[in-house]
Chain A
Amino acid sequence: MTEPVPILQMRGIDKQFPGVKALDGVDFRLFPGEVHALMGENGAGKSTLIKVLTGVYDIDAGAIELEGRPVAFSGPLAAQQAGISTVYQEVNLCANLSVAENIFIGREPRRFGRLQWRVMRREAERILASLDLDLDVSASLSAYSLAVQQMVAIARAVQVDAKVLILDEPTSSLDAGEVERLFGVMRRLKEQGIAILFVSHFLDQIYEISDRMTVLRNGTLVGEYLTRDLPQVELVGKMIGRELAALESLEDRRAAAEQADAAAPLVEADGLGRPGAIEPFSLTVREGEVLGLAGLLGSGRTEVARLLFGADHAGSGTLRVGGVPVRLRTPRAAVRHKLAYCSEDRRAEGIIPELTVRENLILALQAARGWTRPIARRKQDELVERYIKALDIRPADPDRPIANLSGGNQQKVLLARWLILQPRLLILDEPTRGIDVGAKAEIQRLVVELSDGGTAVLFISAELEEVLRLSHKIAVLRDRRMVAELDNDEQLTTDALTETIASGGRS
């Protein structure tokens, strides 16, 4: 196969931040009509590379060439005008405007200053049709799901005659069907000769869609590979720079499944439900048991967690903690019963970005004690130091604002926040979403340790493999209904689990 000419070429890119060399002599190239995955752990330099490319940052050394001509953009807008469009994880569109407007706003077709709505709608339909999307272009964008909104963002990006499309974690909040749709759109764009730079934490997705990948580690280039030549295990090895022993040692977890059955029930939900959110379900979590919750996005996983934690009021049913019936009116009440909940939305419902690691860490403990009994500084230091060490939170500086930490480390601080309270049941809602492989393995290992120590864990994750690896039992949700509860034995595979989700437990 003859190699075509790259449309984009970056050579020897250096980028220095105060105290950190974010990029060190990184080369990157992109060919027309390919999906190129940019791989690396958090902090490897992926975002920096994208920001350098789109002109958010200046480069200290190196050269960027677009179609053979050297370029340096003053900002994302200039990059977009040159044909490099970016679609971010968060949809940056106006949901109150129509689909057509979101594609065209700022570049609407006009005649004598008057907007030509008809032309705009027709063009929007044409562009969407070229992406195999059939939408009502005059409906407001908010009428559509996040996934469709993301595709409208892509339509907007390619409408400007884009040659290069950067997709920065577009799939992190999509469910499987939506991801498939997005991939369909990406394949269409590929056929049209657009070069796509794709960033995702989901390895399976990378392998499904990408042709080529560039791996970064600690700001340096590890290498460029054709996806079909690089098996997953090797890729992960290259990304984290060590073998996957950590992950593999967890593989055989299932043998322990039987013994947990004997333990005393800790939390028993009987017919617990909330109209409109989740149909009544019954669930028992035993001491030292890891109960996985599997199901698609929007199937009611978070709703179950919120009911158990008292964050929402149950419309029906009873809840017993340690055999005693309780009514959890507020999360505070749940905390008094030694339940803890790490919410799915780390940024909005978890961290307080302006506060330091220390302050974030002791927040729950302080709340449980009440504000009249402040925790002595020495006690704080001791606790914070212990947990920073135990969870390997990096950088190990308790007085750094938590906003400056990577996603994985923020997640660890949140975990530590609840672990200080020594909960009997820890509810983890998507604890590993959007964090790198290394941190993921550490969090998984922590779940195992907690369970061995007698803490019950309710583990919610969209990644079935992860649920299978960690859980003793798995409850399956579908369409806001609990459809099955399965023992995690040798017969249970991701395929079987997927089948249960798809069939709704009818078999």
Chain B
Amino acid sequence: MTTLTGRLRIGGQTIPRKYVPVLVTAGLFVAMFAAGSVRYEAFGTGQVILNVFVDNAFLLVVAVGMTFVILTGGIDLSVGSVVALSTMLAAVLLRDGWPVVAVIGLVLVVGAVLGLGMGAIVHYFEIQPFIVTLAGMFLARGLCYTIATDSIPITDPSFTAFAQATIPLGGELWITPSVVAGLVVVVVAAYVLHYTRLGRNVYAIGGSEQSALLMGLPVARTKIAVYTISGFCSALGGLLLSFYMLSGYGLHAVGMELDAIAAVVIGGTLLTGGSGYLLGTVLGVLVLGLIQTIISFEGTLSSWWTKIFIGALLFVFILLQRLISARRTGARST
């Protein structure tokens, strides 16, 4: 088990070591923003940051679900496919003339049920989450193509109106309703993680599932709940993506599970579970989004450079986590 402990002295202040990864990510974000502002005109505005939210609201929501799963020490590879399936479902049902509210409700239920099913298999059959959600990934992606092999445009008037709506914040700044939805999810999730038994049980299971069981915690219910939450968040992310894209397509969100995992890890959550904060995940998503923004400002770089930067960052952060936790293992006495 890996845990981050002890305190680190910085200046005169001591900060608990468990906050270090989040602080590093925050520092990185600030540094990147500052560097961008120096290098490019028109970069150093609030709207650039808001645009990162606007362009990544769906990823943020998906990453929140992923955070729950990773905190228990699990992984959910199905999220990208569930996002695609959700866009597909929404598009095809709207084309068939379903009311918007019913579509949204059904999509969310389908996502949650898929997550519930995977969680139940993970727990009751004691199969690695990696394999179960890999199967879920293929299943959901395949289901997209049974609906349609082509992209389906969304033309429902209330849907498109909502998708194009903006919320002015005064002083030229604006966000979209999707951003509000994403932030609401973040706040609710942070509350659940910190102030409810479910949330603390998530951390406990990530710390030691065996101990959690012996302490009489509802391990089965909690594990299934996190996959259900992840499925629900993926479906919600899918809805946000269909606002963003105004289409449903089986090739939407290919590889998004990896972006979500990357955001969670860059946000300082340990892949082994039990340690991490939702704020870190938000920062992780922002860092990923900011990399894309910088590359588009640069103009001459291919968008593949985004992947290269994310890859490099991931290496750095995994090494950082290793260093912080290795110091503890190294100090262990016999």
* Residues of A near any B CB (own CB < 8 A): 76-77, 80, 92-97, 101, 105-106, 108, 110, 113-115, 117, 139-140, 142-143, 156, 276, 297-298, 301-303, 344
Provide 10 A-B residue pairs closer than 8 Å at the C-beta atoms, listed in order of the A residue.
Answer: A77-B216, A94-B215, A97-B203, A101-B204, A105-B200, A106-B216, A110-B197, A115-B194, A139-B5, A140-B3
Q: A302 with B334: in contact, given A95-B3, A108-B197 (CB under 8 Å)?
A: yes
- Which chain A residue has the least Cβ–Cβ distance from B218? A106
User: Nearest chain A CB to B4's CB is how many angstroms away?
Assistant: 8
Partner of B3 from the list A96, A106, A156 (CB cut-off 8 Å) is: A96
Residue from the list B6, B196, B207, B333 in contact with A96, Cβ < 8 A = B207
Q: How far is the CB of B22 from chain A (nearest CB, A)?
A: 15
Is A298 a contact partner of B333 (Cβ separation < 8 A)?
Answer: yes
Q: Are A92 and B197 in contact (CB under 8 A)?
A: no
Report if B258 contacts A (CB, 8 A). Answer: no
- In chain B, residues 1-18, which have Cβ atoms closer than 8 Å to a Cβ of chain A? 1, 3-6, 16, 18
Given contacts A76-B214, A93-B208, A106-B201, 18 further A-B contacts (CB under 8 A): A77-B216, A80-B216, A92-B208, A94-B208, A94-B274, A95-B1, A95-B207, A95-B208, A97-B207, A105-B201, A106-B216, A108-B197, A108-B200, A110-B197, A115-B200, A142-B3, A143-B6, A302-B334
Closest 6 CB pairs of A and B: A94-B207, A298-B333, A96-B207, A96-B274, A302-B334, A142-B3
Minimum CB–CB distance from B280 to chain A (whole Å) comes to: 15
A contact residues around B203 at 8 Å (CB): 94, 96-97
Contact A101 B200 (CB under 8 A): yes
Q: Are A94 and B204 in contact (CB under 8 A)?
A: yes
Chain B residues near A (Cβ < 8 Å):
1, 3-6, 16, 18, 194-197, 200-201, 203-204, 206-208, 210-212, 214-217, 274-275, 328, 330, 333-334
Task: Specify which of B5, B195, B211, B214 is in contact with A142 (CB 8 Å cutoff).
Answer: B5
A97 and B330 in contact (CB under 8 A), knowing A140-B3, A140-B18? Answer: no
Instruction: With both chains docked as a complex, state the minimum distance between the C-beta of B291 and any C-beta of chain A, in angstroms.
Output: 30
> Which of chain A's residues has its CB closest to B274's CB?
A96
A276-B334 in contact (CB<8A):
no
Cβ distance B155 to chain A, nearest Cβ, rounded Å: 42
Is A105 within 8 A of B333, CB to CB? no
Identify which of B5, B18, B207 gathers the most chain A CB atoms within 10 Å of its CB.
Answer: B207
Expressed in whole angstroms, the minimum distance between the Cβ of B265 and any Cβ of chain A is: 17
Chain A contacts for B5, CB-based, 8 A:
139-140, 142-143
Q: Is the CB of B196 within 8 A of A94?
A: no
Query: Whole-angstrom distance between the alpha carbons of A344 and B333 in the complex?
Result: 13
- Contact check, B204 vs A105: say whether CB atoms are below 8 A apart: yes
List residues of chain B with CB within 8 A of the CB of A94: 203-204, 207-208, 211-212, 215, 274
CA separation between A140 and B204, bound complex, in Å?
12
Residue of A nearest to B272 (CB): A96
Determine the distance from Cα of A301 to Cα of B333 in the docked complex, in whole angstroms.
10
Q: Are B197 and A106 in contact (CB under 8 A)?
A: yes
Known: A108-B197, A142-B5, A303-B334. A92 touches B274 (CB 8 A): no
Q: How far is the CB of B293 from chain A (nearest CB, A)?
A: 35
B196 to chain A, nearest CB (A): 6
Residues of chain A lying within 8 A (CB to CB) of residue B330: 276
Q: Which residue of A lies closest to B211 (CB)?
A: A92
CB distance from B84 to the nearest CB of A (A): 34
In Å, the complex CA distance between A44 and B298 comes to: 76
A92→B210 contact, CB < 8 A: yes
List residues of chain A with CB within 8 A of the CB of B196.
113-115
Residues of A within 8 A of B16 (CB): 139-140
Q: Pick the contact of A97 from B197, B204, B210, B328 — CB < 8 Å?
A: B204
> For the complex, what is the distance from the CA of A140 to the CA of B274, rounded to whole Å?
11
| A117 vs B194: C-alpha distance when bound (angstroms) | 9
State in angstroms the CA–CA spacing of A93 and B18 once bound together: 18
| Closest chain B residue, CB of each to CB of A156 | B215
In the assembled complex, how far is the CB of residue A295 from the closest CB belonging to chain B, in whole angstroms? 10
Give the contacting residue for B333; candidates A101, A115, A143, A297; CB below 8 A.
A297
- Expressed in whole angstroms, the minimum distance between the Cβ of A212 and any Cβ of chain B is 28
Contact of A93 among B4, B194, B215, B333 (CB under 8 A): B215
CB distance from A16 to the nearest CB of B (A): 26
